[in-house]
A and B are shown apart, each in its own frame.
Chain A
């Protein structure tokens, strides 16, 4: 099983700042089948990034993904008030499909 470890657990920043979220896999994620989701309270997850670095449809370009193998990063270049939420990384390259434990981005 590919274990995804996200850091930090909580990230406290202000609007306008840059956010860097990390996701480390216990084994290499093949073909970069690594995605990032945003989830707000009471809402379904929203796909931000797939294939490690491809933005999903309608996602602002302040969101970017990078990395390969076992180390992946989600960067939000300039935080907007609506970006404060929980973020999950997710690998779908091997079964069982797994999610990281989440990073809470708070104001």
Chain B
């Protein structure tokens, strides 16, 4: 059974930091392109960042460059998103996604990040 189990969300003040994690099982993580996608309350889906199989290639949404960092640990089958200098507008449910024929087949359960004072 494929599982992507997310952790690390919560309430943080503006300017603060959070690290999201996504632990994968049930498919070959080290062979899979992985991504983070977010969804602000009542809004649509927005791509955050992606990372290739060995972590040598990363890409980010332009508005997030310099504040967010995607990384992976292929030994621990885990994906991470380090979020710094958080803003109110970063409030969203964050999903990890990857694997399968298209690299978008499997999704985590989502974790809520709330940026508020």
Asked if B102 and A101 sit within 8 Å, CB to CB, the answer is no
Assess A92 versus B103: contact at CB under 8 Å? Given A44-B109, A44-B110: yes
Number of interface residues of A (CB under 8 A): 23
Map CB proximity to A onto B91-106 as digits: 1 under 8 Å, 0 otherwise.
0000101001111110
A72: Cβ under 8 A from any B Cβ: no
Asked if A99 and B102 sit within 8 Å, CB to CB, the answer is no
Asked if B104 and A50 sit within 8 Å, CB to CB, the answer is yes
Asked if A99 and B45 sit within 8 Å, CB to CB, the answer is yes
Interchain nearest-CB distance for A39 vs B (Å)? 8
Asked if B100 and A56 sit within 8 Å, CB to CB, the answer is yes
Q: For residue A99, which residues in chain B have a CB less than 8 angstroms away from its CB?
A: 37, 44-47
Number of interface residues of B (CB under 8 A): 22
Asked if B105 and A56 sit within 8 Å, CB to CB, the answer is yes
Interchain nearest-CB distance for B86 vs A (Å)? 20
Asked if A92 and B104 sit within 8 Å, CB to CB, the answer is yes
Asked if A102 and B44 sit within 8 Å, CB to CB, the answer is yes
**A interface residues (Cβ-Cβ under 8 A, vs B):** 35, 37, 39, 44-47, 50-51, 54, 56-57, 88, 90, 92, 95-102
**B interface residues (Cβ-Cβ under 8 A, vs A):** 35, 37, 44-47, 50, 59, 61-62, 95, 97, 100-105, 107-110
